[in-house]
Amino acid sequence: MAGTRRRVAYRRRRQNRFSMFLVSLVIVMLIVVVAVKSVDLREKIDAVTQKEQTLDGLIAEEEARAQEIEEFSKEVQTKGYIERVAREKLGLVYEGEIMFKEED
C-alpha cells in the first residue's frame, strides 16, 4: 500500500506540473497575441492620426478659400468693380467720355 500511495502522489504531482505547464503556455500565448495586436493597433492609430492631420490641413485650406470667395463676391457687387470690368473687358464708356487706346 505504501508503494501505491507513492505512485498516486507521484502521478498527482506530475499531473499538477503538467497542468501548470499548460496554463503557463496558454498565458504566454495570450500575452504574445495581445502584444502582436497591440503593435498592429498602434500602427493603425498612427495611420489614422496622420490622415486626420492631412484632413485638418485640407479643411483649413478650404475655409481660407471659402473666405476669399466670400470677399470676392462682396467686391463683385460694388459699383466700382462693375465699372472697371465694363471699361476693361467690354470697352464701355460713359456718355460724353472719350476713350484713348494705345497702339501696339
Residues 38-82: tens digit of each pLDDT = 999 999 999 999 999 999 999 999 999 999 999 999 998 899 888
- The residue-averaged pLDDT of 73-95 equals 86
Q: What is the pLDDT of residue 34?
A: 97
Position 9 scores a pLDDT of: 64
Query: What is the model's pLDDT at position 37?
Result: 97
Q: Please tell me the predicted confidence (pLDDT) of residue 69.
A: 96
Residue 6's pLDDT is: 67
Q: Which is it for the CA torsion 86, 89, 90, 93, positive or negative?
A: positive
Can you read off the three cell numbers belonging to residue 33?
497575441
First to last CA, the chain: 127
pLDDT value of position 2: 56
State the pTM of this model.
0.52
Q: What is the pLDDT averaged over residues 4-27? A: 81
Query: For residues 47 and 53, what is the distance between their CA atoms, to the nearest angstrom?
Result: 10
Q: How far apart (Å, rounded) are the C-alpha atoms in residues 43 and 85?
A: 55
